[in-house]
Amino acid sequence: MSDWKAKRFWKEAKAVPAGGGHAVELDGRPVKTPAKQPLILPTEAMAKAVAAEWDAQEGVINPHLMPVTKTANSAIDKVAAQHAEVADMLADYGDSDLLCYRADTPEELVARQKAHWDPMLDWAAEVLGARLEPRVGIMHRPQDPAALEALRRRTHALNDFELAAFHDLVSLSGSLVLGFAATMGARDIEVLWDISRLDEAWQAEQWGRDDAAEALAEVKKAAFLHAWRMFALCRAG
């Protein structure tokens, strides 16, 4: 098995206009995706972020230190080829949204869920035009089809790059509502993450900290914050 790894060969990474968007060039040569497609980005801000990641590489190229590049590659190579399927998968979260499934005991947890989750459902009703109703317990009960259709339309309206970022916002939080709240700046992004982790925080308070679980939570939080930044880059000038 070969242990060969790609190493830096370029002196300068630069964002340039190309193909109706912006590309990244390494000493004048355009970067391509793993599927050998042109890496054409929708905004100059995103192209500059990608260029900065390439410019920061020293010695052996480390893809783990290039999150914007990785998400952009996914948007082009994966999401673009199955946009409708990805949008449908994410829209389906609306019918089983984290914010809708509530505990029946203890009273303190019930009150905490109500205090933090009800305002987000109210926001979704007002801003997204989708009223989702809370349920007690974990058994699935369908939501109003009209509300779900409103959320589905909004999800399908996202472009490939937005949808790639939105995927992580929704899947990591377990909530379509929180995903939209993040993209629309409804709350501070750290607050939204904490809202999604309410149940886990409660369990930690009752039973004590779990170092492994907390380490994993930090990894997920970093990915959530990256997805939020990526979505913002999609709409930056």
Angle subtended at Cα 104 by Cα 101 and Cα 106, rounded to the nearest 5 degrees: 120
Task: Pick the range with the lowest mean pLDDT from 25-29, 102-106, 187-191, 205-209.
Answer: 205-209
Decide: helix, strand or coil at residue 16.
strand
pLDDT beyond 70 at 31:
yes
Phi and psi dihedrals of 161, rounded to 5?
A: -70, -45
pLDDT beyond 70 at 67:
yes
**Which pLDDT score is estimated for 76?**
98
- What is the pTM (predicted TM-score) of this model? 0.94
pLDDT beyond 80 at 3:
no
**Which pLDDT score is estimated for 94?**
97
Please, are residues 216 and 200 in contact by the beta-carbon 8 Å criterion?
no
Q: What is the mean pLDDT of the chain?
A: 95
**Which pLDDT score is estimated for 75?**
98
- Ramachandran region of residue 22, left (φ > 0), alpha (ψ -120 to 50) or beta? beta
Q: What is the spatial distance between Cα 81 and Cα 90, in angstroms, rounded to a whole number?
A: 16
Please, are residues 63 and 24 in contact by the beta-carbon 8 Å criterion?
no
Of 2, 1, 51, nearest to 22 (Cα)?
A: 51
Q: What percent of the chain has pLDDT over 90?
A: 86
Of 189, 193, 159, nearest to 174 (Cα)?
A: 193
pLDDT beyond 50 at 105:
yes
**Which pLDDT score is estimated for 139?**
85
**Which pLDDT score is estimated for 237?**
63
**Which pLDDT score is estimated for 1?**
40
Kindly state the DSSP code that residue 76 receives in the 8-state scheme.
Answer: I
- Map out the domains of the chain with their CATH numbers: 1-59 (3.30.2180.10), 82-234 (1.10.3580.10)
Q: What is the spatial distance between Cα 132 and Cα 142, in angstroms, rounded to a whole number?
A: 10
pLDDT beyond 60 at 2:
no
**Which pLDDT score is estimated for 9?**
87
CB atoms within 10 A of CB 151: 26
**Which pLDDT score is estimated for 201?**
95
Tokens of 199: 């149940």
CB atoms within 10 A of CB 91: 19
Cα dihedral 166, 169, 172, 177, rounded to 10, equals: -100
- pLDDT tens digit sequence for 126-158: 999 999 999 998 888 999 999 999 999 999 999
- Region 216-220: mean pLDDT is 95
Phi and psi dihedrals of 43, rounded to 5?
A: -135, 155
Residues 6+ apart with CB under 8 A from 127: 184, 186
Of 27, 5, 1, nearest to 14 (Cα)?
A: 27
